[in-house]
A = this chain, B = another copy of it.
């Protein structure tokens, strides 16, 4: 049966399957070439199906942020890093309850997190690996002083069944265009070298040094001592990734198909993809583009403003004048957010609908527990 995107209700998220495969292949080849462990962050796709494709291409394991993501991914992978502080009894206990066949590692930066995950590990009678998280410039989580990180590694060693496995950092502050990252990467390299040396001297040589992002992906091998990297966005890519040169525009595999629903106000066109379909993510790392997404076939046309179900196209840089009923494909600024807004992704080749899959790890996965508890009040 012939079935094209023209028959789909909009707004709907599409993934170009050929581009997806190319993106997966390229990162896998890079990891192999440089002897790096690719441990992709699944936050971008939240799909066991895409995760399986990453593992089949040689990924050493997966990175997750939430307990639910780890639960969903445990169906396809037995080596999971939860790169998020395991703080609080509910979160720690849920992580420790992952299938015993899963080698579980967490990243953390506080004594409280050590205590919480140690208690959960003891209760569940399972080993849990620990990366101590360093702040190497992003200033989000992670310990800024290496000495503090080392003290935490000591605390981990004292808390069996926790096992100190290495150090982690996230270079989310390196957002310059790829060809202008040299200075940031040099600074990052010095910080990494200092951390490794400090740990090593104290007898805590990290067997894993885990870092990396999509913006720095292709420079990971230039960071001395890094053994694994955790890019997420590279599977689909997005407008920001293309703008900083970490992918080509033609590597953007993910679009939102939308319909022009109004041209009543002169000089603009309104599509049915708004904040509930595109998110409201700014461009980062570049001053060359504004708006919240751009048309795949007309990158000069951006989504200049949005309401929840309305996106307003900026027609100031184009002669093109769409009609009500026309359809457009929008490359979002930040794809991870957009995936999270959807339940189902449609896989296409050209205009042909080939398949669809659920965003299985979207949400928190705790509905049943709440309802069950509630029924007894």
Mark A residues whose CB is within 8 Å of B.
Answer: 1, 3, 7-12, 43, 65-67, 84-85, 87-88, 90-91, 94, 109-110, 112-113, 116, 133, 135, 139-144, 148, 172, 259-266, 268, 270, 272, 275-276, 279-281, 307-310, 312, 323-325, 336-337, 340-344, 346, 352-356, 358, 363-364, 366-367, 369-371, 373-374, 376-377
Contact = CB atoms under 8 A, between A and B. Distances in A.
Contact of A140 (B270, B340, B369): B270
A111 B164 CA distance: 67
Nearest to A66: B309
Contact of A344 (B9, B85, B352, B366): B366
A370 B354 contact: no
A34 to B, nearest CB: 27
B363 A343 contact: yes
Given A8-B90, A88-B259, A141-B270, 12 more contacts: A1-B373, A84-B261, A85-B262, A91-B259, A110-B262, A112-B325, A140-B262, A141-B310, A275-B281, A343-B364, A355-B374, A358-B367
A353 B373 CA distance: 9
A65 B10 contact: no
B113 A9 contact: no
Copy number in this complex? 2
B366 A140 contact: no
A8 B324 CA distance: 47
Contacts of A142: 262, 264-265
| Max chain B Cβ within 10 angstroms of own Cβ: one of A87, A135, A346, A371 | A87
Nearest to A10: B88
A3 B262 contact: no
Contacts of A353: 370, 373-374, 377
A161 B259 CA distance: 25
Contact of A377 (B1, B116, B369): B1
Contacts of A84: 261, 272, 309
Given A3-B377, A325-B116, A374-B353, A87 B261 contact: yes
B3 A276 contact: no
Contacts of A312: 140
Contact of A354 (B109, B266, B308, B374): B374
Contacts of A342: 363-364
B308 A264 contact: no
Contacts of A376: 1, 3
A22 B7 CA distance: 45
Given A113-B324, A308-B65, A356-B374, A265 B343 contact: no
Contacts of A371: 344, 356
